[in-house]
Structure 1
Amino acid sequence: MANGTGTIMLKCVVVGDGAVGKTCLLMSYANDAFPEEYVPTVFDHYAVSVNVGGKQYLLGLYDTAGQESSHVKVILFTFFLFITQAQFCPALLQEDYDRLRPLSYPMTDVFLICFSVVNPASFQNVREEWVPELQEYAPSVPYLLIGTQIDLRDDPKTIAKLNDMKEKPIATEQGQKLAKEVCTFV
């Protein structure tokens, strides 16, 4: 979609489990600097102007909260209750949170599904949670698979924690294989 200046606007929404590095990925790209501390987000937005092949694009980057950010879920759920004037029911928290997240999906041009290479559960959730969600709410929108936290793949403390759980970092080949299986283009 073009705005009045002739700049083409693109919307990119980033999804994935909580604490896999979605916000760091976007902040690093948008601000050209790596954030030093982790601050969970509910929804955040960055706008970056890029020139590709002589065409100017305004890339809207939308950061969504991951599934495991429980305090973020409470904020979203409280907002939901305020809007709907509903009564609080803790058993509905995850279900209602899952209903709120797709509100950021309309008019998206591309999704980035993120997982941490040092969090095997986040890798498994790509297939079990994120791809099905995008197929349900945005079936015609392409998505890419992004492995984050690659710098921790060889970190001794991270390796030790994974070994304690009898797990290993996700290998590059595993990520490439999953991308070929689930992504709309690689």
Structure 2
Amino acid sequence: EEAALWAAQGPAPPRSVLTGFYLLLPQSYTPTVFERYNVTLQMKGKPVHLQIWDTAGQDDYDRLRPLFYPDASVLLLCFDVTSPHSFDNVFNRWYPEVNHFCKKVPIIVVGCKTDLRKDKLLVKRLRKNGQEPVTYHRGQEVARSVGAVAYLECSARLHDNVHAVFQEAAEVALSSPSRNLWRRITQSFCVVT
């Protein structure tokens, strides 16, 4: 079976999740406009082919991004848990855009870079600006507010839960749209943070 996934948020979170999925986390991020990855997962003993589109989040590409939406089976709205601005963009920027172009496509909100929540220097810098890393609970709240079918967290650097993000995305993409996925996922899915 095949599924198409679309990842949004610039510049780094989706790329780190995608490269983390391949266990090839780069030391530096090289921006691209659009990147396509093809991945095969095993689900219930059968191969599932994923086509993943990582799109540029910069304003310069606002007119191009919607060209990649029509074939999406599930949308991954990614944010950096150590960037309140990135987190706010899920609700204020990405959700309105995908809701306009892909009303019926399931959304999964993904909190990325969870390993950095414990980075003392980064947390100190955030607190100096009156900010804190985004908590799991706040991530769950924004996921519910945008009608996401799931909220997941991962760390590409530590390879924590990255594979589970794509397994869940594939399952959501291939499942019936009439099922109550949020209830099923929250009852049976364990998130490693």
1:97 maps to 61
Partners in 1 of 2:113 and 2:23 — Cα distance? Answer: 17
Partners in 2 of 1:157 and 1:148 — Cα distance? Answer: 18
The amino acid that maps onto 1:61 is: I
Partners in 1 of 2:48 and 2:72 — Cα distance? Answer: 15
Partners in 1 of 2:32 and 2:147 — Cα distance? Answer: 25
The amino acid that maps onto 1:25 is: V
Mapping of residues 15-30 of structure 1, within 5 Å: 15-19=8-12, 21-29=13-21
1:23·1:41 contact (CA, 8 Å) conserved in 2?
A: no
Sequence identity of aligned pairs in percent? 36
The amino acid that maps onto 2:56 is: A
Per-residue CA deviations over 1:69-97 (Å, capped at 9, x if unaligned) read: xxxxxxxxxxxxxxxxxxxxxxxxx4x62
* TM-score, normalised with respect to structure 2: 0.73
Q: CA RMSD in A?
A: 1.3
The amino acid that maps onto 1:14 is: A
Partners in 2 of 1:18 and 1:50 — Cα distance? Answer: 26
Deviation, 1:184, is 3.4
Mapping of residues 103-114 of structure 1, within 5 Å: 103-114=67-78
The amino acid that maps onto 2:46 is: K
2:153 maps to none
Does structure 1 residue 119 correspond to structure 2 residue 77? Answer: no
1:17·1:125 contact (CA, 8 Å) conserved in 2?
A: no
2:185 maps to none
* Structure 1 gap ranges (5+): 1-7, 68-93
Q: Check 1:24–1:159 CA distance in 2 against 1; reply closer, same or farther (3 A cut).
A: same
2:109·2:148 contact (CA, 8 Å) conserved in 1?
A: no
* Structure 2 gap ranges (5+): 151-193
Partners in 2 of 1:98 and 1:66 — Cα distance? Answer: 8
1:113·1:146 contact (CA, 8 Å) conserved in 2?
A: yes
Mapping of residues 62-77 of structure 1, within 5 Å: 62-67=53-58
Partners in 1 of 2:64 and 2:41 — Cα distance? Answer: 30
2:94 maps to 130
Could you list the structure 1 runs, at least 4 aligned residues long, displaced by more than 6 angstroms after superposition.
Answer: none
2:169 maps to none
* TM-score, normalised with respect to structure 1: 0.76
Partners in 2 of 1:183 and 1:53 — Cα distance? Answer: 27
The amino acid that maps onto 1:27 is: T
1:154 maps to 118
Deviation, 1:33, is 2.7
After the TM superposition, which of the residue ranges 147-156 and 175-184 deviates more from structure 2?
Answer: 175-184
Deviation, 1:50, is 1.0
Partners in 2 of 1:184 and 1:167 — Cα distance? Answer: 25
2:2 maps to 9
Partners in 1 of 2:10 and 2:91 — Cα distance? Answer: 12
